[in-house]
Amino acid sequence: MISVFDRKEDCCGCTACENICPTEAIKMVQDEEGFLYPYIDQGLCINCGNCTDVCAFQNERRAINNNEISEVYAVKHKSNDVRFTSSSGGAFTAISDYILSKEGVVYGATFDENFNVVHKRQETYEGRDSLRGSKYVQSNLKQVYDQVKSDLQGGRFVLFTGTPCQVAGINSFLVKARIDSSKLITTDIICHGTPSNKLFHDYVLFLEKKSKSKLKNYNFRSKVVGWKHTEVATFYNGKHTYNTLATQIFKKLFYSNLCLRPSCYECRYTSFTRPSDITIADYWGVEKHLPEFTDNLGVSAVLINSHKGKEVFANLTESIYMEKSSINDCAERQTNLYKPTSKNSKRNEFWSDYFEHGFTYIAKRYGGYGIKGKTKRIIAITLRKLGLLDR
């Protein structure tokens, strides 16, 4: 009986195994935490071994070209409007504009109609705009592999943007499927780790119940108060909230390291040798190393990892400002460039509480929800007892 993985820590959910299977014996199935894992129908399996061979994560395939990073830049898009609607400096928009100008297609993460984070194919500038911005949830790749394969076979330029494990997965798939990927440009991010769609979906329901309205839009990295991590929720009843206890819950859970995919704690891609042509991220700390280049609209760190990446970057000069930097300066506040996120010792307790008590309970216990309100009530009661506050 063949299995793609023995431990959940050994599966990043890239779906390469599902897409390479010649008999369609593999389906991605959601576990109790909401993460997708390959399930093999043994009745359809022919023991060809393609699934285990294509697994870049377990085979520790880090970079197709094995090129170490040689160039690092601080980047700002010349359009302030682009930077305002981007998570950092707008590097993704500049790169994708170049691909679209060559009648290419762009793949990246966005929301579907139910606020699930999914990868989608876009071939217009308007469609591409929906792929902007960070999504702190693991995206579902669905039919993207077949679409990328078809586009490349049709001779089109393709930009695929995702987490490092997703990029490594699609690279490995294309090699195994013997697809010419000379027109494929891959862009990865410096990734902290990924929570599940299931957890985020429960968070959406929590926000909708509190606001008594359906969610219209959610922005993980709005710049309404500048370049930082500000989550904004907009509802159909007109409510627009940010920097409240409710809109900070998911951010707190994300940074607590309690709810990430198990493989994230043993990530094979926290390395200076990247699986992509170009790596993009926030250039945190740029004010220290390039103080005249920084401002409150955001700056991207761009790492050039391959000859293809260098060629693409050379064509962006009309749309970006850039300053040469170094990997050491960039890595100073991007620790996931060289080590995985540490697993929180209370992770099992967190999920046990979630299964037993639901989202509102973990929002209060782990997400900081209600603490400030409770503190205010205690202070108010005390002041009233002292006669310092009208009843």
207 and 235 share one domain = yes
* Enclosing domain of residue 18: 8-54
* Count of domains for the chain: 3
Please tell me the pTM assigned to this model.
0.92
359 and 375 share one domain = yes
CATH of the domain at 98: 3.40.640
170 and 247 share one domain = no
3-class DSSP state of 71: strand
Distances in Å between the Cα of 209 and the Cα atoms of 213, 243, 244, 255, 371 are 7, 18, 15, 24, 19
Query: Using an 8 Å Cβ cutoff, are 15 and 24 in contact?
Result: no
Residue 257 has what pLDDT? Answer: 97
Residue 67 has what pLDDT? Answer: 55
Residue 185 lies in a domain: yes
pLDDT tens digits, one per residue of 156-167: 999 999 999 999
Residue 238 lies in a domain: yes
Question: Is pLDDT at 379 greater than 50 in this prediction?
Answer: no
76 and 168 share one domain = yes
Number of residues written out for the chain: 391
Residue 88 lies in a domain: yes
pLDDT tens digits, one per residue of 210-223: 999 999 999 999 99
Query: Using an 8 Å Cβ cutoff, are 140 and 117 in contact?
Result: yes
76 and 217 share one domain = no
Residue 390 lies in a domain: no
Residue 1 lies in a domain: no
Tokens describing residue 340: 């995985």
